Amino acid sequence: MNRIASILAPLLLIALLLAGWETACRVLAVPAYFLPAPSAVAAALIDQAPALLASGWNTLAMALLALALAVAVAAPIALAAALSPMLERAVGPIAVALQVTPVVAIAPLAVIWAGLDHPERAIVALAAIVAFFPIFSGLLTGLRSADPDLERLFDLYGASRLQRLTRLRLPAATPFALEGLKVAAGLAVIGAVVAEFVAGSGAAQGLAWKILEAGNRLRTAEMFAALAMLAALGLGLHGLLRIAERQVLDRWRGRRR
């Protein structure tokens, strides 16, 4: 019953918000170019469905590629930093600097370095930079969160550094790493969209370009349709990672028992 309520509650709230939005647009006679009614957005979503699906796939592909790149770079660095306090002190400020630097500020440089004919390279690189820190921070925090009593037990049995890493620290880091991956996935989508905005090129043909194109033509309903597609993409990706997280953690806890 609680599970059904948890599913129905957000759906009911969304339905109420859309109904209020539709009513306000009709009663106040809001111009469609300023704020289209949900019915107009739905019509644009149906009419532009093939183009939006193609653009959504391009954005998702770049975000997933960026996420894979971020994992491939962040995971080994986090592992090395967990084993070497000196390396952690050296890498830490650089990782924080990447996190706090707005992607918009470095996007023009990335576009130039990637080449104006290949904006997708810049988009993937920028999205990977945005996704780097949650993966690095989550894994590093998890690797340092092992139970001190178990650490002393491993010392007592003379465990090697490799045994300590694979049998103690990596299992302890699993929940933290998965949570960091979920956060990084959302940030990768955001980074890809922002980078495409800054790149200002339709060569990548992602959802950001559809929003820019519709905005330049004052087709506000199409802009909202692209935003709805982008929101659905982000929610779907988050949902899949949440299911995968639950499966991995359930199996991991079962093995521990």
Q: What is the pLDDT of residue 71?
A: 92
Beta strands in 52-112 (DSSP E): none
pTM equals 0.83
Domain ranges of the chain: 60-204
SS3 content of the chain, % helix, strand, coil (to 5): 85, 0, 15
Q: What's the CA gap between 31 and 25, in Å, rounded?
A: 8
pLDDT in tens, 31-48: 888 888 888 888 888 888
Q: What local confidence, expressed as pLDDT, does residue 203 receive?
A: 59
Task: Give residue-wise pLDDT tens across range 155-213.
Answer: 666 666 777 777 777 777 888 888 888 889 888 888 888 888 776 655 567 888 888 88
Maximum distance among all Cα pairs of the chain, rounded to whole angstroms: 76
pLDDT computed for residue 118 by the predictor: 76
State how far the Cα of 32 lies from the Cα of 139, in Å rounded to an integer: 47
pLDDT at 175: 84
Please say whether the beta carbons of 82 and 177 come within 8 A. no
Average confidence score pLDDT of the chain = 82
Segment 65-103, tens digit of pLDDT: 999 999 999 999 988 888 787 888 888 888 888 788 877
How is residue 36 written in tokens?
Answer: 């289209």
